[in-house]
């Protein structure tokens, strides 16, 4: 910040507080103003963004005891008419300020300045920096887009592994925080493997009075031996016999956590055909999926003599079509 600004800007007025306000009330006032003017709450509003920058800048100084004391000293000098000015008028401005340090030593505006006088005044503007106007007074740190103000607390990462049914139905579970204390997490219905759940304001506190960080829980879902997820749909592979697929049949299909349902397999159903059961998938607040049953023709691995003889007779009678003829044709282009 330029030196002139420290004389001209009234940070107490910016925040609408008195000079004797307590730290707790100062923080409460800032948070209320920050919520009102934060750019995320006012997208595209340049005036609100400028106001947010202004109140963050004010709070970054007044919330720090040392900066607040130094700011009050500078404002006190400003009330007496002292100013730093540029160009040819600079000497007169410095005399006004340095005269404060020489009063009582027998010197006046034209007195010879002592080395310690320069150190006293410049140290106010150069703490933590290498040049005039830099350091603690030069550029506020933290806050939104470098505007100053308190910084947000760090997020804490946690992990949990849940079973497939818990992921589809939802449940509230307990986890242990990094401080050893347990905390509860609501697993929403339909959470996916690898999804992250954010618990607002449950992470590490801010080092300077800002917002508390979050807990981010990474979820791993154990695979189910039968079902898989396809969005809100559940998939299951259902074996059928050659006879059932050829002649047609009514079969039972399992559901997740419920009674089996009956499905009609039409005559001539090939492997890979998907049969749909409405409303038996994952149920969430956003909607409910279906159960998708994929038919897989099961080939018997062992035949007795009678079955083999019957199958050979069928082979003599079956249509003499080559099921791979279309495949070969398309492969040749």
Note the pLDDT of residue 118.
Answer: 41
* b/e 5-28 (16+ beta carbons within 10 angstroms → b): ebbebebbebbebeeebeeeebbe
3-146: CATH topology: Helix Hairpins (1.10.287)
pLDDT for the residue numbered 109: 39
Q: Cα–Cα distance between 83 and 3 in angstroms, integer?
A: 9
What are residue 160's DSSP bridge partners? 219
Kindly provide the b/e burial profile for residues 147-156, where b requires at least 16 CB atoms within 10 angstroms of the residue's own CB: bbbbbbbeeb
Q: Where are the domains of the chain?
A: 3-146, 156-221, 228-331
Same fold flag, 156-221 and 228-331:
yes
Architecture of domain 228-331: Sandwich (2.60)
* Architecture of the domain defined by 156-221: Sandwich (2.60)
| 279-332 tens-digit pLDDT | 999 999 889 999 999 999 999 888 999 999 999 998 888 888 888 888 898 999
Could you give the CA distance from residue 118 to residue 227 in angstroms, rounded to a whole number?
A: 78
pLDDT digits (tens, 9 = 90+) for 48-80: 888 888 888 888 888 888 888 888 887 776 554
pLDDT digits (tens, 9 = 90+) for 216-274: 999 999 999 999 999 999 999 999 999 999 999 999 999 998 899 999 999 999 999 99
The predicted pLDDT at position 268 comes to: 93
Tokens at 255, concatenated: 């559901």
pLDDT in tens, 163-181: 999 999 999 999 987 777 8
């Amino acid at each position: 910040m330029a030196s002139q600004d420290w004389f001209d800007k009234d940070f107490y007025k910016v925040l609408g507080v008195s000079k004797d306000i307590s730290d707790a009330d100062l923080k409460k006032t800032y948070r209320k103003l920050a919520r009102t003017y934060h750019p995320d709450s006012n997208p595209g509003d340049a005036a609100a963004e400028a106001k947010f920058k202004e109140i963050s800048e004010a709070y970054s100084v007044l919330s720090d005891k040392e900066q607040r004391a130094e700011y009050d000293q500078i404002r006190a000098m400003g009330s007496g008419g002292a100013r730093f000015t540029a160009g040819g008028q600079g000497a007169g401005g410095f005399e006004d300020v340095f005269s404060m340090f020489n009063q009582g030593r027998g010197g006046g505006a034209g007195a010879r300045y002592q080395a310690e006088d320069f150190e006293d005044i410049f140290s106010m503007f150069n703490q933590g920096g290498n040049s005039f106007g830099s350091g603690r007074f030069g550029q506020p740190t933290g806050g939104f887009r470098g505007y100053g103000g308190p910084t947000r607390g760090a997020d804490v990462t946690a992990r949990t592994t849940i079973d497939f049914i818990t992921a589809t139905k939802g449940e509230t579970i307990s986890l242990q925080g990094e401080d050893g204390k347990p905390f509860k997490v609501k697993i929403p219905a339909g959470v996916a493997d690898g999804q992250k759940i954010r618990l607002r304001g449950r992470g590490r506190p801010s080092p300077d009075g800002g917002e508390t960080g979050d807990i981010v829980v990474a979820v791993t879902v154990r695979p189910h031996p039968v079902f898989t997820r396809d969005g809100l749909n559940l998939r299951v592979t259902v074996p059928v016999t050659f006879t059932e697929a050829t002649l047609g049949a009514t079969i039972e299909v399992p559901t997740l956590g419920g009674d089996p349902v009956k499905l009609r397999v039409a005559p001539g159903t090939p492997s890979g055909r998907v049969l749909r059961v409405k409303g038996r998938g994952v149920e969430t607040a956003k909607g409910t999926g279906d159960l998708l049953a994929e038919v897989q023709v099961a080939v018997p691995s062992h035949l007795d003599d009678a079955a083999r003889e019957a199958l050979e007779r069928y082979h003599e009678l079956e249509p003499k079509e080559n099921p791979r003829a279309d495949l070969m044709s398309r492969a040749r282009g």
